Structure 1
Amino acid sequence: MKQIRKLNTIGEVDTFVQEPGLSFLYVSTPDCSTCHALLPKLQELLNDYPSVSFGHADATEVEEVAERFLVLAAPIMLLLIEGKEYLREDRFVRFGLLQKKLDRIVEHYA
């Protein structure tokens, strides 16, 4: 399974998204059933992308993350390249479409 990097502070989030390469940031809340259901599916999907780092921030623990990335509802999924947002998906994600988008971005970036 793809390893998830737990991001506990806004500093850790900032460092994660600024690292070289592709960073996938998952923002959730603990009381969100959709968040809990999507996380393992997302983790499985990202197994196919070894060049993509996977980070998770709890918006109730890292409150600044919502403001920094304009998160209005959880979950939110962001693909960033060296701090710049390239892809944003929300709670109603279609994994087939997400996979196609990831394929295009990863292929272009590589």
Structure 2
Amino acid sequence: MIMMNSSESIEELISNNEVALVYFGSVGCNVCNVMKPKVEELLKAYPKIKSAQVDIENSIELSGFYNIFTIPAILVYIEGKEIIREARHISIQELNSKIERYYNMLFE
């Protein structure tokens, strides 16, 4: 995942890719530190999904812009629209099934 710290770069990622995933977390968040490698591993199965990471400690205004009230948070955009939003207690299996459904519709 590419580290991003501006709304312009995130909006560019979302608008220039059919599917984009934005991961919001923090270095000081233990749950985030456990979840991030799992999300990165999940994304290996979906090579057409472009992803970015936002460290909210360094980008507090971004968390407000995207209405992030708890971390970790995962936002998935398809064709520029937010389709999936998961936060705090995230099940990788459920996230995978949601992503897989949309991914298969778009790319297979």
Which residue is equivalent to 1:5? Answer: 2
Compare 69-78 and 6-15 and name the one that shifted more: 6-15
TM-score by length of 2: 0.91
**Distance in 1 of aligned mates of 2:22 and 2:99:** 13
Quick one: distance in 2 between partners of 1:82 and 1:70? Answer: 20
Residue 87 (structure 1) aligns with: 84
SS at match of 2:28: coil
Counterpart Cα distance in 2 of 1:92 and 1:103: 19
Structure 2: which 5+ residue stretches go unaligned? Answer: none
Answer whether contact 2:5 2:58 (CA < 8 A) is retained: yes
Amino acid at match of 1:18: S
TM-score between both structures, scaled by the size of structure 1: 0.89
Query: Where in structure 1 do 4 or more consecutive aligned residues deviate above 3 Å?
Result: none
* Structure 1 residues 59-109: Cα deviation after superposition (integer angstroms, max 9, x where no partner): 121222212211001110010023310001112111111111111111122
Aligned to 1:66: 63
Number of paired residues? Answer: 107
- After superposition, the CA RMSD in angstroms is 1.2
**Seq. identity, %:** 24
